[in-house]
Amino acid sequence: MAYRYRPMHRALHWLTAGAVLAQAILGIWITQFEPADKVFKFLLYDIHENLGFSLAPITLVRLWLRRRHPRAPLPEQTPAIIEFAATANHASLYLALIGLPILGVLATAAWGFPFKWFGLLPIPSPFGVSDYWAPVFSYLHWLGAIALGLAVFAHVGGALYHGLIRRDGVLQRMV
């Protein structure tokens, strides 16, 4: 194998993947199977919000590392459309991993629940409580979550394509 991502890149990739999976489970649980117990419901929201907001700085670190150590190019015989799709998908993943936490915090504040990251660091909202903005931010957060899910699906599909069909070593870079 000619190239493998650095251990820090791989660790942050898999940390992000696990956190996104946990976020999806929590988000679906909260919205589709809303717990009757209010204390438990708020605990789930709290976990979802704190874990989600943690993804933003993790993603910024990943972008900084990627800038310092750019990814290796895809194999030469990779079609241009595949390279374009990979680049666009990675950009959408990074955008969602930064944008969704921001939208989530804005929605939380607009609904009247000020957000303190792990109960320690208050994250201010420029909007405060707003009957107008709360559903808008919540809807945008939901749309972003759907878009992130589709991008993750495409990302996993691309990894499997490289690992099982092309067998070109691209999948092995991250495992």
Put simply, whether the predicted model's pTM sits higher than 0.85 gets the answer yes
State the helix-helix crossing angle for 7-32 and 38-68, rounded to 10 degrees.
Answer: 150
| Domains of the chain in sequence order | 7-173 (1.20.950)
Q: Which of 101, 75, 77, 74 has its CA nearest to residue 89?
A: 74
How far apart are alpha carbons 113 and 3 in whole angstroms?
46
User: Do residues 68 and 22 lie in contact, with contact meaning Cβ atoms separated by under 8 Å?
Assistant: no
Q: Which residue has the tokens 């940390």?
A: 15
User: Do residues 134 and 85 lie in contact, with contact meaning Cβ atoms separated by under 8 Å?
Assistant: no
CA 13 centroid distance within chain: 10
Q: Which of 110, 144, 146 has its CA nearest to residue 129?
A: 110
- pLDDT tens, residue order, the chain (175 aa): 457 888 999 999 999 999 999 999 999 999 999 999 999 999 999 999 999 999 999 999 999 999 998 877 788 888 999 999 999 999 999 999 999 999 999 999 999 998 899 989 988 888 789 999 999 999 999 999 999 999 999 999 999 999 999 888 888 888 8
